[in-house]
């Protein structure tokens, strides 16, 4: 299940940002993921020692719900994309046959 989540997350990070920002977004995400891999387990262990198992689960659930809510609010505030103009006029070269199937 983790590989599906990781693949879906990376796909969103590769397709959602503007094309000129994709490399930067993936670079920052790689840094954050590496940092979390190093600092996450000790932080979770400390949280469980301080708050207990139930408190850690409640805190984690609230953090996840807050992150989802913040993402939803930020996504709603995004400016909508400009419409794409599709040309429907005839081609300029009129003496040549158009594209057809190979068969």
pLDDT at 52: 92
CA distances (Å), 90 to each of 45, 66, 78, 87, in order? Answer: 67, 53, 36, 9
Torsion of CA 90, 92, 93, 95, to 10 degrees: 50
Residue range 65-93, pLDDT digits in tens: 999 999 888 877 766 666 777 777 665 65
Residue 32 placed within a domain:
yes
Residue range 21-54, pLDDT digits in tens: 888 988 998 999 899 899 989 988 998 999 999 9
CA-closest candidate to residue 59, choices 48, 69, 68: 48
Work out whether the CA dihedral 8, 22, 27, 69 comes out positive or negative.
negative
Residue 93 placed within a domain:
no
CA distances (Å), 87 to each of 34, 91, 100, in order? Answer: 46, 10, 20
Q: How many domains does the chain have?
A: 1
Predicted structure pTM score: 0.51
Domain span at residue 46? 8-76
pLDDT at 4: 87
């Amino acid at each position: 299940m983790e590989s599906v989540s990781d693949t879906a997350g990376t796909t969103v990070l590769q397709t959602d940002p503007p094309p000129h920002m994709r490399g930067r977004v993936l670079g920052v995400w790689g840094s954050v993921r590496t940092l979390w891999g190093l600092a996450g387990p000790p932080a979770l262990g400390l949280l469980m020692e301080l708050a207990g198992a139930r408190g850690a689960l409640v805190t984690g659930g609230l953090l996840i719900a807050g992150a989802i809510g913040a993402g939803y609010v930020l996504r709603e505030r995004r400016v909508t994309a400009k419409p794409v103009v599709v040309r429907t006029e005839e081609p300029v070269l009129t003496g040549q046959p158009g594209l057809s199937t190979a068969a």
